[in-house]
Chains A and B, each alone.
Chain A
Amino acid sequence: MVKNRILVVEDDKAISDGIAVNLEYSGYDYRVFGDGQEAADSLLEDHSYDIALLDIMLPGIDGFELLEYMKRYNIPVIYLTAKTDMASEIKGLREGAEDYIIKPFHILTLLVRIEKVLKRTGKLDQILRIKDITIDLKEHKVLKAGEEITLTPLEFEVLAMLTKYKNRIIPREKLLDEIWGVDFFGGTRTVDVHIANIRRKLDISNRIKTIPKYGYRLED
């Protein structure tokens, strides 16, 4: 399995370190630059990125200028911006950025956005693997040790999400929002029931950890 590769250009070290550790734990390959010019220069030799996360206010050259370099190598861009004024957002999107995230943001939001862009550009790996379990997102199939396991569509979605963001606690509310939708009025108990079913069907009780009052974490 080839890891998706991400370019991060952010001058605040605290923020870039935070993003880096999360990308690493989520199974992405990445490279971080603190200076716009340095990032642009590095593209000459190495430009095999699936996505770029760009700050707008950067030393060297700014994020808007950097977008031109990214376009040259067909690298989709997500802006990380502290600018709340709509003008700069519209400018960024019109000129070809895929998305933008306003600081401060939740790391899970960033990961979801990254995944959406990867999915749109066809760079997302459709096969997820964790130990002896294989999840085919395209065919909606789950195999454990080569044998197909039948899951309900909702159980499949829950398993897929836990696997995508493995090693990370996914809050129950987040699962509800993403899978059942924000209009769903059933309580978080619904999530617990589905998790219990997945644990039983796949026999992975020890891998899906319950974090009391918060959510679940799938560990590899």
Chain B
Amino acid sequence: MKLWQKISIISILVLLLVVTLCSSFLLLYAKNHILEITIENLRIEQQNLERSFLEILEYYLRGETNPVALRSGAKYCFSQFAKETSVLIFEGEALYSAININPWDITPIKDDHGQQESLKRIDNRNIYIAGSRVPTTIDDYYVYVVKDITGIYNKIISMAWWFSLFSITGIALGTFLIILLVNKTLRPLTNLKNTTGRIAIGEYGERANIHSKDEVGELAKDFNSMAEAIELHIKELEDKAQRLRLFIDGVTHEFKTPMTSMLIHTDTLLSMDLDEENKTLSLLHIHEQCRWLERLTQKLLKLTALEEEVDKSPESIEELFLDVSNTMAETLAKRNISLKTYSSVERLNLDYDLIKSLLINLLDNASKASKLGQHIELKAYGRTIEVKDFGIGISKEEIDHIMDPFYRVDSSRSKGKGGSGLGLALVERIAHGHDAQIFIHSEIGEGTSFQIKFPP
């Protein structure tokens, strides 16, 4: 069963119970009240009748002894006040009555004082009888008020019908409103459920569009932050997987060329009886390719090892620059390139070996880009280390790709210069390991500058 159905049914049941109880209580109260008022009025009527009758009787028939005259006198006196409900009883017989019931038979008065009353059902009619002895000195008269109050009962019954009708209408209306309101209140929840469903099937960009201030609104807010976190995580994972895939593609492609020539040459050596010269040539090629694969593997190993944490400590920049200059000296001398170092920083927080490797890679690239006899600058200022050459430069489109593993600005030529296509990928990893940013500025024909900005 759905939540809105549960809440609706519970609400409707509560409404039903409350309405029924209230109606019943009101009905009962109204019935008693009406009856009480009616009876009270009849009681007063009887008392007034008795008092009036007594007064006039005492005055009118004082000293009269003739029984017949007394009887007719009493009858006359009574008739002066009597209504259609009034009955006068003498010795169990009705002396004056407008009705066909003798109240004495139904409610005889035993007690000398006080009122006697009863409510009886006679011939399908509700009859109220109230009577009392008239305390005269002459005779024993009894004054009764007999009233058919069936009409009042009927009125109460019709009232009950109206109450039921109103209750049923009210409940029906209430049911309709409850279902409507519960649905409206729970709509954000349905909304949230649909959003969850869409996220579950991979639409991680989905968000719950709920702005209510209630618990559902809060839930939606928390849900959205959760979805945000999940989306971010998924995106990171996807990016990582994508990078890894590209990397593996690159590695595979990079291994293919040496594999091809090794396969061709081993195949040839195996299946053909080559002369000495060709045999040596084939073996030389195989040897060369093996060495190339070995270099490539070393670089790859270095790159994967970088996945681990870098070990930073404050290192002397001057010392680092001197070390790098010495390592690069031979390579640079071959192309008659001079390296100018300049540092306004004493120490930077870094992993010495890794940053040395980074700088050597950048300087290697710079020397390849430079023309014979040019110079390269290696500078440190603020939190930045910069390598700047004045060589061929890199185009805007290529700058976006140069950090990709195996990317070469000129694919077929730089391999001749011993480039693996992994140098800048290595630089990027090392910088990333230091939380450092890389800025590249380059103009075709004017040169390139790499700036490594370390975090504070």
Q: Is the CB of A104 within 8 A of B270?
A: no
Proximity bits, A143-183, B CB within 8 Å = 1, else 0: 00000000000000000000000011110000000000000
- For A167, list chain B residues within 8 Å (CB): 272-273
Q: Is the CB of B272 within 8 A of A168?
A: yes
Question: A17-25, A71-79, A184-192: which one contacts chain B?
Answer: A17-25
> B residues 150-181 with Cβ under 8 Å of A?
none
- For B261, list chain A residues within 8 Å (CB): 12, 14-15, 18
- Within the complex, the shortest CB–CB distance from B275 to chain A, in Å, comes to 10
Asked whether any CB of chain A lies closer than 8 Å to the CB of B3, the reply is no
Other-chain contact of B274, A14, A21, A57, A217 (Cβ < 8 Å): A21
- For A82, list chain B residues within 8 Å (CB): 253, 256-257, 260
- A59 and B410 in contact, given A14-B265, A14-B289, A21-B278 (Cβ under 8 angstroms): yes
Question: B29-37, B46-54, B280-288, B294-302: which one contacts chain A?
Answer: B280-288
Asked whether any CB of chain A lies closer than 8 Å to the CB of B412, the reply is yes
Asked whether any CB of chain A lies closer than 8 Å to the CB of B241, the reply is no
Whole-angstrom CA separation of A18 from B268 in the bound complex: 7
In the complex, the chain B residue whose C-beta lies closest to that of A85 is: B249
Other-chain contact of B257, A22, A103, A168 (Cβ < 8 Å): A103
In the complex, the chain A residue whose C-beta lies closest to that of B254 is: A82
Proximity bits, B379-411, A CB within 8 Å = 1, else 0: 000000000000000000000000000000011
Asked whether any CB of chain B lies closer than 8 Å to the CB of A106, the reply is yes
In the complex, the chain B residue whose C-beta lies closest to that of A36 is: B412
- Within the complex, the shortest CB–CB distance from B368 to chain A, in Å, comes to 16
Q: Is the CB of A104 within 8 A of B274?
A: no
Other-chain contact of B260, A17, A21, A103 (Cβ < 8 Å): A103
Proximity bits, A4-29, B CB within 8 Å = 1, else 0: 00000001111101110110010000
- Within the complex, the shortest CB–CB distance from B19 to chain A, in Å, comes to 74
- For A83, list chain B residues within 8 Å (CB): 253
Q: What is the predominant secondary structure among interface residues of chain B facing chain A?
A: helix
- Within the complex, the shortest CB–CB distance from A39 to chain B, in Å, comes to 13
- For B344, list chain A residues within 8 Å (CB): none
Q: Is the CB of A104 within 8 A of B272?
A: no
Asked whether any CB of chain A lies closer than 8 Å to the CB of B106, the reply is no
- For A105, list chain B residues within 8 Å (CB): 260, 263
- Within the complex, the shortest CB–CB distance from B100 to chain A, in Å, comes to 116
Whole-angstrom CA separation of A105 from B285 in the bound complex: 17
Q: Is the CB of B412 within 8 A of A58?
A: yes
Asked whether any CB of chain B lies closer than 8 Å to the CB of A107, the reply is yes
| Interface hub of B259, B271, B273, B288 (most chain A Cβ within 10 A) | B271
- For A18, list chain B residues within 8 Å (CB): 261, 264-265, 268, 282, 285
In the complex, the chain B residue whose C-beta lies closest to that of A19 is: B264
- For A104, list chain B residues within 8 Å (CB): 256, 259-260, 262-264
Q: Is the CB of A57 within 8 A of B272?
A: no
- Within the complex, the shortest CB–CB distance from B136 to chain A, in Å, comes to 131
Whole-angstrom CA separation of A59 from B408 in the bound complex: 12
Whole-angstrom CA separation of A108 from B264 in the bound complex: 9
Whole-angstrom CA separation of A141 from B361 in the bound complex: 66
- For B267, list chain A residues within 8 Å (CB): 106-108
- For B262, list chain A residues within 8 Å (CB): 104
In the complex, the chain B residue whose C-beta lies closest to that of A82 is: B256
- For B256, list chain A residues within 8 Å (CB): 82, 103-104
Whole-angstrom CA separation of A83 from B270 in the bound complex: 27
- For B410, list chain A residues within 8 Å (CB): 59
- For B289, list chain A residues within 8 Å (CB): 14
Whole-angstrom CA separation of A12 from B257 in the bound complex: 8
Whole-angstrom CA separation of A169 from B265 in the bound complex: 14
Q: Is the CB of B271 within 8 A of A21?
A: no
- A22 and B260 in contact, given A14-B289, A17-B281, A167-B273 (Cβ under 8 angstroms): no
- Within the complex, the shortest CB–CB distance from A186 to chain B, in Å, comes to 24
- For B285, list chain A residues within 8 Å (CB): 13-14, 17-18
In the complex, the chain B residue whose C-beta lies closest to that of A169 is: B271
Other-chain contact of B268, A12, A21, A58 (Cβ < 8 Å): A21
Asked whether any CB of chain A lies closer than 8 Å to the CB of B110, the reply is no
Interface on A for B, CB 8 Å cutoff? 11-15, 17-19, 21-22, 25, 57-59, 82-84, 103-108, 167-170, 217, 219
Query: Can you identify 11 A-B contacts, CB atoms within 8 angstroms?
Result: A15-B257, A57-B411, A57-B412, A82-B257, A84-B252, A105-B260, A107-B263, A107-B264, A107-B268, A169-B270, A219-B273
- Known: A15-B260, A25-B272; 16 extra A-B contacts, CB below 8 A, are A12-B260, A17-B282, A21-B278, A22-B272, A25-B274, A82-B253, A82-B257, A82-B260, A103-B260, A105-B260, A107-B263, A108-B267, A167-B272, A167-B273, A217-B271, A217-B273
In the complex, the 4 A-B pairs of residues with the closest C-beta atoms, listed nearest first? A18-B264, A14-B261, A104-B260, A59-B412
